[in-house]
Amino acid sequence: MDEISLLKKRTSAEALHNMTRNEDTNPPTSKLKRSFSLKRDLIRNKHVKSGDVEDARLKLSMLRKPSSWNKVLGKMLQKMSYLGLQQDKSNLCSKYDAYVSRSSTDIYNDNNYQTPKILSGDKVPGVVGLRNQGNTCFINAVLQCLSHTDVLARYFVMDQYKMDLTRRNKLNSKKYGTRGEMTEQLALLLKSIWLCKYDPDMSNQFKTIVDKYGTQYRGNNQHDAQEFLLWLLDKVHEDLNIATKKKYKTIRNTFGRPDEQVAAETLANHIRCNESFIHDVFQAQFKSSLTCPRCMRQSNTFDPFLCISIPVPQCYSMPVFITVIYTSQQPRDVKLGLSLPVDSSIAEFRELLWSYTGIFQEHMLITEITDIGFNRTFCDSMPASMIKESDPLYCLELPKLNDCSNESGPYLLLCWVNILVVEDQCSRFGSAYTMQICRETSYKDLQKLLLKEMAVMLHDDILTTDQEIPLFGIRLADASDLPQYLDPTVELPLFTDPIDQALAMSGDQPHVKLILEWNLHAKEATIADHCDQVEEHASVKQLKLNSEKGTSITLEQCFDLYTKEEVLGPENAWHCPQCNLKQEVVKKLGLWTLPDILVVHLKRFRQSLSLPSSRQHNNRQPTKLSVLVDFPLFSFDMTPHLAIGRDVRVPLKPLASRRLSSIQDRNLYDLYAVCNHHGSDPHSGHYTAFCKNPYDKQWYSFDDTKVTPIPDTSLVTTSAYMLFYQRRDMILNNSDHWATRLHAHISNSHSVGQIVDNIEHNNDDIAELSDSPSSHTISRSSTVENDMVFSRPSSPMVNGRRPSDLCLDDTEKNFKKLLHNAKESCI
């Protein structure tokens, strides 16, 4: 094909693309752009079928060219949360009304919407579980959240990333990124999910690429999901980064200059080196302010972010419920409710228990007892934050220890519980018991002493008659991973190696925990009453009432804590250029701009200092804050958390269309995914995801390969770790989701040339490049395809100006000028 014919085809394709998106009329500023005019009714040509137009629009997304500074500046303006307005839907062709977001009432209360059928059977596009390749649940949870990020999924599944990847490869992909391997593997995986053609080997291949470029992820260890998300986005960004500059320019003399000017220069300096679809969608700007208390001058810095990590307000006290089992006091079992400082230790917990019970601290054994036996035993050096409100916690009063040099031989401290074993089912009955016994005791005498200690629940004649040996199995709880039982044929069973192993693992207080395993016949013949009567102290009811009043916080409170002013101490003093002195300044963080996809990371893990012990050095251990954070599902307004003053975000002026959303509405976000962490440690536990499918608008729970529908009333839990929000005006119309064209895109990839030929044949006036008033001036500088939602859609023109321009006050108009100045300084 000769050059003129190729130019015509590209001209026609660009015309189709730009007419459906009402693109900007700014003149080109790059040698790589072309401008020409087309009639308004080009897209309505009767010879072009609507289905062909759709296919053409999909393929034309591959015709992107290098972006210009006009595009970059446009993105800067569009990213500013107080600039721009939603596109006027009334000016668009009815064919493409599906791409304009509806009001919240339309989106969430569309009872008449019928999901189109594009897959055979009952399969829903995007609703597919992922195989766990060995502690890769953190990868699976992140991938499910990204797969349900509608704009990102469309970008990869519809092959819109390939042009950016090709351009990046032509630049210098060998030095940066993964040479496209990570991006291609991610795209392949997302396609398999949305086509419901997933194979477990795809997860294995993805993990192989992750291991290749992320050495920290090699092996089968668990990792933090938020760290992996940022790592993955960074690698894909490097693969798709089409910026031509690699070195940042130094921005000088920011002190005392207007915020808008410094922010514009910082953003322009960043974009000149970092420009990719990932940053278009996820990135925005922080604002960090340092205020000198003496001269009140501010120094402001602006930094980009892909994810906001906000602190979770810490409760200064934690509720702990514990059952105390006395040796001789009645009632024997008493449940207490105690309020414990979150930064206290188990040693301090013992001291608090002593004040309630009168049991000396050296006579306390604090342990967990479940339905099948003993679990954790707590030492003095452990932080009390390891205890959760729902843990089955017990404090066993230990008998007074005899002198180990007693004539009858060395003594051993025993603790035990009773378990009924029926086939493979185990269930605990009765209370827990403690006893001190001489190690030089035979198995027969040991059984008698254990029964004597439990006399209160035995039949009357049990202690006066001989019982079979063994009457029950005696299993050691702490001996090893494999079950270890005392051998009835051994003369002195308490002098065996398993007993020594259990003693070595017992912690601060040497003891041996036993589990007495009964069969049903022996239990019925021996045990008369095993009811475990536990008296509940008044402190339990009071603590529950207090906990219910303050067990949850809101996401807004987390953001308020994040943006709260903080006075830096002398060790972090800042040198004020105005005063020429080091000052203890006031630091404040805020959000300068907002992204289209807002990822909120709840900082649930904090480092707690373990107390020193004879066997342990000082070290910090991560503990999890399991407080319930109540986050909104719809209409989360980020306006109060912006660093820009409210006077800058002007209300809509009457000149703008009544159907355009207000400036404040553009800061509304709707939840579409939640990444959950279950467990107490960031490098252990388990990750799952709740995701709202953008195709059928239903919520699903993703637990590796297990996928189940979930009501939105079950989304807010104490396990929520990362929240994924999308800007309200990005939500697409249900009736024409891009997934409905997915199979046509794959099977009819050759049709774009035919569509362009038809458009060229039926619109000969394209070549005339008319400048008549009835034509639009279309610039190739924009790279916003019809099947791609970039940072912000353009607004329609009103008398040659945008409605957003009509709403600008002097501050905002000055900011536009500052962006142009920033462009000149960064070239």
Q: What digits encode the pLDDT tens for the residues 611-657?
A: 343 334 445 566 788 788 999 999 999 988 888 643 333 333 333 33
**Rounded to 5°, angle at Cα 194 from 191 and 198:** 70
Is residue 417 assigned to a domain? yes
**Cβ atoms within 10 Å, residue 700:** 21
Residue 422's domain comprises 317-546
Q: Is 204 helix (H, G, I), strand (E, B) or coil?
A: helix
Record the tokens describing residue 7, joined without a space: 């130019």
> Residue 630 belongs to what H/E stretch?
strand 628-630
Q: Which residue has better confidence, 684 or 528?
A: 528
Lowest mean pLDDT among 132-141, 211-220, 463-472: 463-472
CB 360 within 8 A of CB 344: no
Given the structure tokens 């939500």, which residue do they identify?
A: 731
Q: What total number of domains does the chain contain?
A: 1
CB 383 within 8 A of CB 482: no
Q: Which residue has better confidence, 181 or 95?
A: 181
Lowest mean pLDDT among 115-129, 283-297, 413-427, 687-701: 115-129
Lowest mean pLDDT among 13-17, 79-83, 274-278, 765-769: 765-769
**Could you tell me the pLDDT band of residue 484, with boundaries at 50, 70 and 90?**
confident
Is residue 565 assigned to a domain? no
Dist. CA 416–CA 436, nearest whole Å: 12
Q: Is the pLDDT of residue 664 over 70?
A: no
CB 629 within 8 A of CB 561: no
Is residue 454 assigned to a domain? yes
Record the tokens describing residue 823, joined without a space: 């462009």
pLDDT in the model for residue 607: 67
| Mean pLDDT of all residues in 274-279 | 92
Dist. CA 574–CA 24, nearest whole Å: 45
Residues with catalytic roles: 137, 686
pLDDT in the model for residue 253: 67
**Rounded to 5°, angle at Cα 25 from 21 and 28:** 115
Between the alpha carbon of residue 776 and those of residues 18, 22, 37, 472, 758, the distances in Å are 9, 9, 6, 91, 21
CB 305 within 8 A of CB 550: no
Dist. CA 444–CA 474, nearest whole Å: 12
* Domain containing residue 474: CATH number: 3.10.20.90
CB 15 within 8 A of CB 778: yes
Dist. CA 59–CA 64, nearest whole Å: 10
Is residue 179 assigned to a domain? no
**Could you tell me the pLDDT band of residue 88, with boundaries at 50, 70 and 90?**
very low
Dist. CA 117–CA 692, nearest whole Å: 18
For 666-681, what is each residue's pLDDT tens digit?
A: 789 999 999 999 987 7
Interacting residues of 62 by C-beta distance below 8 A, sequence separation 6+: 159, 160, 162, 163
pLDDT in the model for residue 513: 92
Between the alpha carbon of residue 754 and those of residues 6, 51, 85, 163, 311, the distances in Å are 13, 12, 36, 21, 55
Between the alpha carbon of residue 120 and those of residues 123, 129, 196, 735, the distances in Å are 7, 18, 10, 19
Given the structure tokens 């008033």, which residue do they identify?
A: 773
pLDDT in the model for residue 247: 78
Is residue 20 assigned to a domain? no
pLDDT in the model for residue 461: 86
pLDDT in the model for residue 626: 79
Is residue 478 assigned to a domain? yes
Dist. CA 503–CA 506, nearest whole Å: 5
Dist. CA 614–CA 508, nearest whole Å: 9
Radius of gyration (Cα) for the chain, nearest Å? 34
**Backbone dihedral angles phi then psi of residue 556, each to the nearest 5 degrees:** -60, -40
Q: Give the mean pLDDT of the chain.
A: 74
Is residue 193 assigned to a domain? no
Please list the residues that pair with 36 across neighbouring strands: 778
For 754-791, what is each residue's pLDDT tens digit?
A: 433 433 343 333 233 233 333 332 222 233 333 433 33
Most confidently modeled of 55-64, 263-272, 683-692? 683-692
pTM of the model: 0.60
Given the structure tokens 């003149």, which residue do they identify?
A: 27
Is residue 420 assigned to a domain? yes
DSSP tag of 73: H
